[in-house]
């Protein structure tokens, strides 16, 4: 994870407005949502894992699922999730073929090898450009 300085840090905005503005730029709602915090993610690359620019935020006046909630933006950062290739090589096998068939249907994807893998510096120019776009979109 690489924190990136930005003038959006500390900005307060309605969650709906944040989503409306950023989804049009290619951001998606990131994983790891909770009742009081969440993330907007921009996928930069899928080479050797998934590299994201992640914008964290926290609820100020309620929970995220409440209509009209205001959020405060945190420090954006670059993040890389590195995944194994192929199917899970350690399936949860229980009681023969039925359980194996069930597991292969439900648990077909592997856990990440590293949820916070090293981010290649080649993504820094893209990240800086995305930060500029974020600031222009959210501050002006």
CA angle 113, 64, 35 (to 5 degrees): 55
pLDDT tens digit sequence for 36-93: 999 999 999 988 788 999 999 999 999 999 999 999 999 999 998 676 555 544 554 4
Longest dimension (CA), the chain: 61
Q: Which two tokens stand for residue 43?
A: 């996928």
d(CA 46, CA 52): 9
CATH superfamily of the 2-139 domain: YugN-like (3.30.310.100)
What are the helix (H) ranges across the chain? 15-23, 96-106, 124-139
Every domain of the chain and the residues it spans: 2-139
**Is residue 1 a contact partner of residue 39, using CB atoms and an 8 Å limit?**
no
pLDDT tens digit sequence for 79-105: 986 765 555 445 544 444 444 444 444
């Amino acid at each position: 994870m690489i924190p990136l300085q930005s003038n959006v840090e500390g900005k307060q905005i309605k969650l709906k407005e944040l989503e409306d503005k950023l989804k049009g730029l290619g951001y998606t709602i990131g994983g790891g949502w909770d009742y009081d915090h969440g993330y907007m993610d921009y996928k930069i690359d899928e080479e050797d894992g998934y590299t994201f620019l992640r914008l964290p935020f926290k609820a100020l006046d309620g929970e995220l699922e409440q209509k009209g909630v205001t959020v405060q933006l945190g420090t954006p950062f670059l993040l890389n999730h590195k995944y194994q290739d192929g199917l899970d090589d350690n399936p949860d096998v229980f009681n023969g073929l039925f359980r194996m068939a069930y597991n292969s249907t439900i648990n077909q994807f592997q856990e990440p090898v590293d949820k916070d893998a090293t981010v290649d510096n080649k993504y820094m120019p893209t990240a800086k450009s995305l930060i500029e776009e974020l600031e222009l979109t959210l501050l002006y």
